[in-house]
Amino acid sequence: MPKPVRCPACSCEVSRIDIRPRGFTCPHCKQVLKVDAHYAHPLAIMSLMFGTFLSYLLGFSGVWFILYMLLVGAAIFLVAALVNRWFFLKLARDNSALEFRITGPRDGQVKQ
C-alpha cells in the first residue's frame, strides 16, 4: 500500500486522483503544486550504469554494445520511475506561476 501524499504547504493529504503531471492545485489550501522530479537524474545515471555493466557482462561490443546499453538502461529507468512515483511520490510548490510586479515610484523619486 503506497504511503499517503501530503501537500508541502498545508500538510493535508492529497488524493492521487487529484495529482496531475503538469501541475495542479491543492484541494485544501489552493497552493499550486507539482510532482517533485529531483529523483530522475540520479535514477537515469544509475540505469545507464547498470545497462552498461549488463552489456559488458553479456559480451556485446561495438554498435550492439551501445544499442543494448541504451535499451536496457531505458527499460530499467522506466520501471524504476514508475515504482518511485507510485511508492515514493513527493510534491513540491510550483513557483513557475509566480509573477513579480514592482509598482510605485523609485526610491529617489519619493516626494516629501
Whether 109 maps to a domain, the answer reads no
Whether 73 maps to a domain, the answer reads yes
Q: Which domain holds residue 58?
A: 5-97
CA distance 35 to 24: 9
Asked if pLDDT for residue 108 goes beyond 70, the answer is no
Whether 91 maps to a domain, the answer reads yes
Asked if pLDDT for residue 57 goes beyond 90, the answer is yes
CA distance 104 to 112: 15
Whether 70 maps to a domain, the answer reads yes
Asked if pLDDT for residue 15 goes beyond 90, the answer is no
CA distance 73 to 55: 10
The reported pLDDT for the residue numbered 63 is 93
Whether 76 maps to a domain, the answer reads yes
Asked if pLDDT for residue 83 goes beyond 90, the answer is no
The reported pLDDT for the residue numbered 53 is 92
Lowest mean pLDDT among 22-31, 36-45, 74-83, 101-110: 101-110
* Higher pLDDT among residues 4 and 76, named by residue: 76
Largest CA distance in the chain: 81
CA distance 75 to 81: 10
Whether 36 maps to a domain, the answer reads yes
